[in-house]
Amino acid sequence: MAYHYKNLNISKLSVIGAGQIGPDICLHFAKVFWKNNVEFVIVDISEDALAAAKAKIEKKISKGEESGAFKKQMADTMRNSITYTSNYDAIRGSNVVLEAATEDGKIKDIIFKQVEALTDDSCLFLSNSSHMQPEVIFRNIANKSRCLVTHYFFPAERNPVVEVVPGKDTDPQITADLLGFYEAIGKVPIEVASSYGYAIDPIFEGLCELAILCLEKGYGTVKEIDAIARKTLHQGVGPFTALNLTGGNPITNHGLEEMRETHIQWFRSPKLLQQAVANRTAWDTAKRGEEVEVDPAKAEVLRKQFLGGYFALCCYIIDLGITSVDDLDMATEIALVIAAPFTLMNKIGIDEAHALVKEWCAEHTDFPFPKSLDKAKSDGGWKISRIIHKKRDNISVLTIRRPKVLNALNLGVLTELKAEIEIAENDASVDGIVITGFGTKAFVSGADINMLAALKTPEEGYNNSHTFQQLINTIEKCKKPTVCALNGFAFGGGNELAITCTARVAKKGLPVVACQPEVNLGFIPGAGGTQRLPRLVGVDIAAEILRTARPISGAEASEIGLVDREIEGDLIEGAVAFAKQLVNGEVEPRDFMKGGSAENLSPKEINIGHLSKKIDEIMNRAIYEGIKLPLEEALELESKLFGECILTEDMRVGLNNFLENGPRAKAEFKHS
């Protein structure tokens, strides 16, 4: 058995380099492929490094076992799937070789010449370089079409971002397959054109340089600079702490000096960084829990430095033309645990962002003012989309991509989706539309909880519900068939979006494909769920699902008519094929009642457990009064009743419990 993805077939994968990141990369692969009987090899010339790598991996597996993340069989399989060796012959038969050795061109060249002699021409060559261009790393490899850089971020087994960097000779199909492969195994890949440092490291290392320059100029202490940078840019840790955690002084020192030659003169290793590397000293950062007070005047100077510098660095990358605004905005936020740069510029105002960068560049004279920021200002802000649009065989495929929040919906995302649907509807070359989600875990995890928690009055609740409905109604009103391709679970607003489509298909075997969890949080669905679900699967079935928040498997969803077809193999290919069948009239859409029912229906007795009796009462009114009305009037009723939930004590109880204790904790409802 092996792992198969399109043209990639993996039964053996070798990682060369047992230092800091190689073992973590191997651990992630072992975790993902534990059921596929894939063989892993870690090779290093140092026996000490191999022993340390084995200890590190086995410690992490044991921790996962203790926490319950790994069952014993999974943990044992992961441990037994990895061989640690200094013998390069062990990589024979590998389908993929991923090098994660020292950032040295000569060493990488020697490694890949050895690898080339031991593997066949179909073996995929990957380098986890943090800076070097693929044309340099693979310069002496005969078949360069299978060679790419795949740049991971710390910690590699948990940080999802991977920069995929093809060289000028890389086969574009291999690049496309690799991007899809990484998404399929839970990573968030972005394609970056060949450039020293790629897209994200110049930003990270530029911020580290800026922090050290601020220290050299006396703008603050290490602790003060770290604290203000973290607060200003919403970072997980400040730049000095990041350097300490990753052992990043030497590589940042080297990278900055190289970027001075390959990019612009502003990049350079400051004297204090060179001293830290020479003396092997860490930065004197704040201890865990230590509060750092900063004088307001000093804080303002540092705030302007980091906003101006961060925005300038990110715009500079866009000026290089090596990646897109959408990809960089998303990947920088996730990889570096920092505010999404272009979203932040729009939030504070593009004019202010422009002025901050102008002021910053006036001080940092070696940094040219970015042309892309001038254009963004003239456009009234950055154009950022969370919807990926591709076309397959006259079918428009729209992918909702917000991996940080499992593709959760907010009004901005729905507005973008509405616009894309209208574009596809008016495009004569498009016959139908497929809507899916990014990744493998969630189609859409629901609506943004913080947005819902901010609602204070019934009027605000009504308006929120009504606006969501109007945006989602665009799908229902579309004159072309729409197919929702459920790549993972659809919770709350995700399921409400799905049931607005002409049809739904799901990846076969999903343990959970849909759930309306709103009653767990003390309110009812507000984007059409109380009205469309009963019309699709039947009133009593829908009522039980809505009133209990019970999750539905793919098999059950197919049985009750929530899903039209389960897809084996490639989900999008299956969804596109199904959309074509709808277009050609080979299959008919499932019956959906838009008019009101003449039946005298009433709520059934069901056990709602700890859930709010008050919210259940409102839910029943929505379902059983709504089913008697035409759909348009029924949706209006739902919005009014959603607003009514705002007046209940239980909506506050449910939302506060979720925000404070997480989704697994049961709220103590007051039934009022």
pLDDT by residue (tens digit) across 169-224? 999 999 999 999 999 999 999 999 999 999 999 999 999 999 999 999 999 999 99
CA quadruple 557, 520, 406, 346: dihedral positive or negative? positive
On whether both 633 and 484 belong to a single domain, the answer is yes
User: Looking at residue 658, what is its pLDDT?
Assistant: 92
Tokens of 452: 């819902």
The Cα–Cα gap between 125 and 1 comes to: 22
On whether both 139 and 233 belong to a single domain, the answer is no
Does residue 458 surpass a pLDDT of 90?
yes
pLDDT of 219-256, one tens digit each? Answer: 999 999 999 999 999 999 999 999 999 888 999 999 99
pLDDT of 610-628, one tens digit each? Answer: 999 999 999 999 999 999 9
On whether both 374 and 391 belong to a single domain, the answer is no
Does residue 123 surpass a pLDDT of 90?
yes
Residue 577 lies in a domain: yes
On whether both 394 and 372 belong to a single domain, the answer is no
Q: Which of 518, 566, 636, 638 is catalytic?
A: 518
593: CATH: 3.90.226.10
Q: How far is CA 10 from the centre of its chain?
A: 24
Q: Which residues pair with 400 in a beta bridge?
A: 387, 437
User: Looking at residue 227, what is its pLDDT?
Assistant: 97
Residue 68 lies in a domain: yes
The Cα–Cα gap between 81 and 90 comes to: 14
Give mean pLDDT, residues 328-348.
98
Residue 667 lies in a domain: no
Residue 669 lies in a domain: no
Does residue 596 surpass a pLDDT of 80?
no
Q: Which residues pair with 395 in a beta bridge?
A: 392, 432
Task: Give percent of the chain above pLDDT 70.
Answer: 100
Residue 671 lies in a domain: no
On whether both 149 and 218 belong to a single domain, the answer is no
Helix then strand then coil, % of the chain, to nearest 5: 50, 15, 35
Residue 196 lies in a domain: no
pTM over 0.85: yes
205 is catalytic: no
Residue 105 lies in a domain: yes
On whether both 107 and 227 belong to a single domain, the answer is no
On whether both 396 and 284 belong to a single domain, the answer is no
230: CATH: 1.10.1040.50
Give mean pLDDT, residues 598-616.
90
Give mean pLDDT, residues 533-551.
96
pLDDT-derived band of residue 592, with 50, 70 and 90 as boundaries? confident
The Cα–Cα gap between 579 and 569 comes to: 16
Give mean pLDDT, residues 377-399.
97
- What count of other Cβ atoms lies within 10 Å of the Cβ of residue 518? 28
At 499 the three-state DSSP class reads: coil
User: What residues make up the domain containing 77?
Assistant: 3-191
Q: Can you list the alpha helix ranges (DSSP code H) found in 482-553?
A: 493-498, 529-537, 539-548
User: Looking at residue 434, what is its pLDDT?
Assistant: 98
Say which residues have a Cβ less than 8 Å from residue 485's Cβ, sequence separation at least 6.
434, 435, 436, 443, 505, 506, 567, 571, 572, 574, 575
Which of 191, 209, 224 corresponds to the end of one domain? 191
The Cα–Cα gap between 306 and 303 comes to: 5
CA angle 232-230-249, nearest 5°?
130
pLDDT-derived band of residue 453, with 50, 70 and 90 as boundaries? confident
Which of 378, 402, 427 corresponds to the end of one domain? 378
On whether both 405 and 429 belong to a single domain, the answer is yes
101: CATH: 3.40.50.720
Give mean pLDDT, residues 158-174.
97
Give mean pLDDT, residues 3-29.
95
Name the amino acid, one letter, at 48.
D
Does residue 598 surpass a pLDDT of 70?
no
Which of 171, 191, 211 corresponds to the end of one domain? 191
On whether both 452 and 355 belong to a single domain, the answer is no
Distances (CA, A) of 43 to 19, 23, 55, 80, 451: 10, 10, 15, 16, 49
pLDDT of 38-81, one tens digit each? Answer: 999 999 999 999 999 999 999 999 999 999 999 999 999 999 99
Give mean pLDDT, residues 494-503.
97
User: Looking at residue 448, what is its pLDDT?
Assistant: 80
Q: Which of 224, 416, 496, 636 is catalytic?
A: 496
On whether both 358 and 403 belong to a single domain, the answer is no
Residue 110 lies in a domain: yes
On whether both 18 and 147 belong to a single domain, the answer is yes
Kindly report the average pLDDT of the chain as a whole number. 95
Give mean pLDDT, residues 125-151.
97
Would you list the DSSP string of 413-438? HHHHHHHHHHHHHT-TT--EEEEEES
Q: How many CA atoms lie within 13 A of 83 on its CB side?
A: 17
On whether both 394 and 489 belong to a single domain, the answer is yes
496 is catalytic: yes
